[in-house]
Structure 1
Amino acid sequence: MTPEFQAYPHVPRVYPPGKPAGAGTQHVPVLIVGGGPVGLATALGLARHGVRSVLVEADDGVCTGSRAICISRRSLEIIERLGALDGFLAKGLPWAGGRSFYRDEEVLHFSMPQDAHQKLPPMVNLAQYHIEQFLLDAAERHAELIDIRWQTKVTAVEQRGSGAGLTLATPDETYNIDTDWLVAADGGRSAVREALGLKLQGTSYEGRYVIVDIHLKSSRPTERLAYFDPPSNPGSTVLVHKQPDDIWRIDYQLRDDEDAQAAVLIENVAPRVDSLLAMMGETAPWHPVWITIYKANALTLEKYRHGRVLFAGDAAHLVPIFGVRGANSGIDDADNLAWKLAHVVQGKSSAALLDSYCDERVFAAHENLRHGSKSTEFMAPPTFAFELMRTAVLGLAGKHPQVRSLINPRQTSAIAYARSPLNAADTDEFLAGPAPGSVLPECPLALLDHGTRTARHMTDLVNLGQGGFVGLYFSDDGAVPAELAAVPGVTMLAVARQPLQAAGLCAWDHTGQLFSLFGARHGSFYLVRPDGHVLGRWHEAAAAHVRQALATILTREAA
């Protein structure tokens, strides 16, 4: 008997069309097109700096269907800064590894980096409708700074030297809006990108995958499961992810001779799902909630800044799903863009700062595409030669551990901007620690606030900057030199072995690991950007070093 479709447990709220305030052409400092994870994260990042934005979304609420499902540790760190972490951790299913099978043999059991230093899990499974809802809940707490207009489509875009003019249409009316800065976060079919005549460049792969979400009660642990040429679906590759609410995401590859339209019919999907579940030993009844088809793309714009228009997320790049880099790279885009755009809007920096957004995130996109393409070529071999290589690797992996790394799906990780124009070049030799452009490593610490001790982590210290720069002065006794403490625009914190002379806030290295993790000694100093990337580091920092590093960013010259 063919199972009947049922709805997802989560039913999105429907929002009425957005209403413009007043008659005539409006003007806003920042207009964000797209109310998905990237658009909402950008709006929240701007609000964290006190910058108002208007966000327009063509749909009438958060998404439905199966889209992004995995959120990385790096994204969770960003989401915490945006004030939305609690929902992600309460609802999401954490996982730290997975298994790959060739036919009926396990050929890989991998684990992602996870140790006692970490505050957050390596990965959390959470459907995109939940991701959007939790970000939206946070955005609604900033209603004075974030104006969300639903059922509002972009029908025209006009670039200008001082911004952009857009025509927006709702079911009730059409109106015009001018903006100093336009952020295009409107997905893979970006209306803004189309209006500007811009094209994504790269590779579109021929392999096709059917994506099926099913409801199934199971006690199986949460991990990434990959089946190559399984008995249930010979010649295919199948991926399985457990999600909250007893939802399971199943991706299986179609053969070249299969018709795509017929492949998504439930009468053709159900036998394959039945066969897969029987192979896995899952005997509980199931029903489908979503079926669609997917092709992998490895595409990007050459530039993400076009005058006063800035692209982020899928509007800027399309990354294969293998390695979960899609939504995660978009959230990283938003984190990078928001603080820089806020600095420009508030007159703290020139518009040239936004060129570094383009430099850093285009570099990150190429890194993500490089890894995603390798995974895609293994998951869905584009040629006979790739297929021959994959068959050989899978056949050997069971008995030869040295080849198993070739099966590893290369999950997303934080990207270091090693060549960023913002980096202060190393002038001192560090034997360990994050180089300029890298994110801070995680480690537990004790935060002392006038004698009150709380258990915290290194990445929490970025939040103490309230959206600004943070200076970490490694000190034997908790004291910070007066000249460093007086540098404007930087929240200074001592990282102390023994906080005997700490004044105000101080991070205590109570585990004895922070100094070695950062390659630090008494007097070492790290300057950290609002997005948690290191701007510069010195063993004997002078206030002049810090001011010079900040001057690269805090310049008001016209651009």
Structure 2
Amino acid sequence: MVGATYALAHELYPYARVPDQDAPALRHHPVIIIGGGPIGVATGLDLAQKGTPALILDDHDGVGQGSRAICFAKRTLEIADRLGAGAPMREKGVVWNTGRVFHGDGEVFNFNLLPEDGHRNPAFINLQQPYFEKFLVDALRRAEAEGRPIEIRGRNVVTGITQDADKVTLSIETPDGPYQATADYVIACDGARSPTREAMGLTFDGRVFEDNFLIADVKMTAPFPTERWFWFEPPLSAAPQSALLHKQPDDVWRIDFQLGWDIDRKAELAEDRIRQRIDEFLPEGTEYELVWTSIYTFQCRRMERFRHQRVIFAGDSAHQVSPFGARGANSGIQDADNLAWKLDLVLKGHAPDSLLDSYHEERAHGADENILNSTRATDFLTPKSEISKIFRNAVLTLAKDHPFARPMVNSGRLSVPCSYAGLSLTGEDALPGGPARTAPGAPCCDAPLEAGFLLDHLPGQFTLLALGCAAPEVSHPLQVKLLTIADPTPALRERYLGDAPSALYLIRPDQHVVARWNNASPDQIIHAINAATGQP
């Protein structure tokens, strides 16, 4: 509702009147993005970097309070680097690679999510979502200053949406009254309660789990290391079924308690009740300040289709998963990464409109993978029968001394980038002995070069990577970058060559591998480019 109060952590785009509101005819935009959260801003930035104008409409003036998402994965940071926001995120964020699992008062095992060197980014950083969003908007402002075609409008609330064969028309409410605008395509990044989805009468189907979790962000100086600590059945009198501890910037710590289903939410959110839980959880005498508290319920849902003609859904508006595993915001950023290059090529006439159908194909595949992992995590956290609990606890007991049992322990499988292997845009794998982790469909694995890192040289366009060989000359209407590395570093050899002496890789603008060969003709490469852009 226009004029409603909203607690801001950062006021980044205050309302200002724009020419669209006074124009005698409706102003037209190639892309309008509904929602100025991380997914909307990332999508707009990616489009603008490619030269496609993007207008972002947000119903508020900036970033809201509350830490919300805090765990941002390596792949998300790699995408943020390409968008110009990765460095401040790493500088502000709390870096961690190690996780520990406890049962009762004893440690079961620990794990390292990034056991090898040679990556610019860590496995994860912890960073409060308001900071993450701010750094993306800072990058947007720099892009504006450089003349990139991007704009964000605060307190512009979309109140109506219609579409026909060649455009989408939006009705928009502002403090100065309503106006309308049209777009070739609209991207709805307006959250799990998406007003766009509701206005279009679209379903959001899935499963709501009978469980509740209390989030408590506390500011304190504590001796805990910067690791992810997870407890099954922590030894507390209030008997939560699980608990989680994470460090955030500014000496703020995230504590999660699993409360169960049949609870009095108002009573559990009372400050004295929250402090009772925290006081028992932390070392005796620890002083702390409550910063933010909330209760959430596990939900795993998604739309049947993410594309509806000229309206496309991304992030939580398209799919929702439980917070354990850090799959929500990280998955949404991968949506933006997947969609922007396809929409750019379609709008420039370099690819057919049908290429946008592959956005749903690939990102629905990613959503289903996340929902499966979230569902399994929830079932492991909350056994539904006594025999299930006996099995779960037996796995935890075995995992203490037997590594084979550790993969069966599920405290929230942590977010990993999605591979599109076997889907329609993926090309051939003709590199005998090539490493599995860089096979067609997989996201590129970073590696150090003599100067910098590999992903620095994959800037958002199709790239032909030649390792230890010469690439053939390829003539194609799309601009294809040639990157030749005559003497690959040991890390490059391990991650891209394996047993092969040399290799050619075709890489998409979102840094996913299209195809790879030990050698290839120009026709093979052209065929792979056409297939990856939905061409005949």
Q: Fold conserved (TM > 0.5)?
A: yes
Equivalenced residues, count: 521
Report the counterpart of residue 86 of structure 1 in structure 2. 87
Report the counterpart of residue 480 of structure 2 in structure 1. 490
Q: CA deviation at 1:114?
A: 2.9
Question: 1:200-233, CA deviations, whole angstroms, 9 ceiling, x for partnerless residues?
Answer: 1221111100111111112422111112222224
> Partners of 2:371 and 2:106 in 1: how far apart?
30
Q: CA deviation at 1:358?
A: 0.9
Cα pair distance change 1:385/1:49, threshold 3 Å: farther
> Partners of 2:346 and 2:219 in 1: how far apart?
47
Question: 1:500-553, CA deviations, whole angstroms, 9 ceiling, x for partnerless residues?
Answer: xxxxxxxxx243752674237456311100111011111121111111111224
Of 468, 471, 475, 1:475 maps to: 468
Cα pair distance change 1:183/1:520, threshold 3 Å: farther
Of 394, 417, 421, 2:420 maps to: 417
Query: Is 1:51 matched with 2:55?
Result: no
Q: Which deviates further from its counterpart, 247-256 or 227-236?
A: 227-236
> Partners of 1:539 and 1:404 in 2: how far apart?
37
Q: Which deviates further from its counterpart, 210-219 or 68-77?
A: 210-219
Contact 1:32 1:184 in 2 (8 A): yes
Report the counterpart of residue 539 of structure 1 in structure 2. 518
Contact 1:31 1:54 in 2 (8 A): yes
Within 5 Å, which residues of 2 pair with 1:14-33?
15-21=13-19, 22-23=22-23, 24-33=25-34
Query: Is 1:457 matched with 2:453?
Result: yes
Cα pair distance change 1:237/1:406, threshold 3 Å: same
Within 5 Å, which residues of 2 pair with 1:27-426?
27-143=28-144, 144=147, 145-232=149-236, 233-278=238-283, 283-408=285-410, 409-426=412-429
> Partners of 1:380 and 1:172 in 2: how far apart?
51
> Partners of 1:257 and 1:554 in 2: how far apart?
50
Contact 2:234 2:240 in 1 (8 A): yes
Q: CA deviation at 1:485?
A: 8.1
Contact 2:157 2:173 in 1 (8 A): yes
Contact 2:448 2:491 in 1 (8 A): no
Amino acid at match of 2:270: L
Contact 1:469 1:489 in 2 (8 A): yes
> Partners of 2:80 and 2:226 in 1: how far apart?
22
Contact 2:427 2:532 in 1 (8 A): no
Within 5 Å, which residues of 2 pair with 1:508-523?
509-511=488-490, 513-514=492-493, 517-519=496-498, 521=500
TM-score after normalising by structure 1: 0.88
> Partners of 1:520 and 1:207 in 2: how far apart?
49
Cα pair distance change 1:256/1:311, threshold 3 Å: closer
Q: Which deviates further from its counterpart, 396-405 or 306-315?
A: 396-405
Contact 1:437 1:534 in 2 (8 A): yes
> Partners of 2:407 and 2:480 in 1: how far apart?
43
Gaps of 5+ in 2: 1-6
Within 5 Å, which residues of 2 pair with 1:6-21?
11-13=9-11, 15-21=13-19
TM-score after normalising by structure 2: 0.92
Cα pair distance change 1:309/1:516, threshold 3 Å: closer
Cα pair distance change 1:303/1:256, threshold 3 Å: closer
SS of 1:356's partner is helix
Contact 1:520 1:539 in 2 (8 A): no
Question: 1:31-67, CA deviations, whole angstroms, 9 ceiling, x for partnerless residues?
Answer: 0011111001000110110111110111221121131
Amino acid at match of 1:220: F
Report the counterpart of residue 505 of structure 1 in structure 2. none
Query: Is 1:524 matched with 2:503?
Result: yes
Contact 2:32 2:54 in 1 (8 A): yes
> Partners of 1:106 and 1:522 in 2: how far apart?
44
Report the counterpart of residue 4 of structure 2 in structure 1. none
Q: Which deviates further from its counterpart, 22-31 or 189-198?
A: 22-31
SS of 2:230's partner is strand
> Partners of 1:384 and 1:159 in 2: how far apart?
53
Cα pair distance change 1:525/1:268, threshold 3 Å: same
Q: CA deviation at 1:488?
A: 5.5
> Partners of 2:58 and 2:499 in 1: how far apart?
47
Q: CA deviation at 1:126?
A: 0.3
Cα pair distance change 1:496/1:277, threshold 3 Å: same
Contact 1:206 1:382 in 2 (8 A): no
SS of 1:181's partner is strand
Question: 1:361-413, CA deviations, whole angstroms, 9 ceiling, x for partnerless residues?
Answer: 00011111111211122223345554343233334443444323222432111
Question: 1:474-518, CA deviations, whole angstroms, 9 ceiling, x for partnerless residues?
Answer: 235xx544x248886211121212xxxxxxxxxxx2437526742
SS of 1:398's partner is helix
Q: CA deviation at 1:91?
A: 0.1
SS of 2:429's partner is coil
CA RMSD of aligned residues (A): 2.2
Contact 1:68 1:127 in 2 (8 A): yes
Identical columns (%): 38
Contact 2:427 2:514 in 1 (8 A): yes
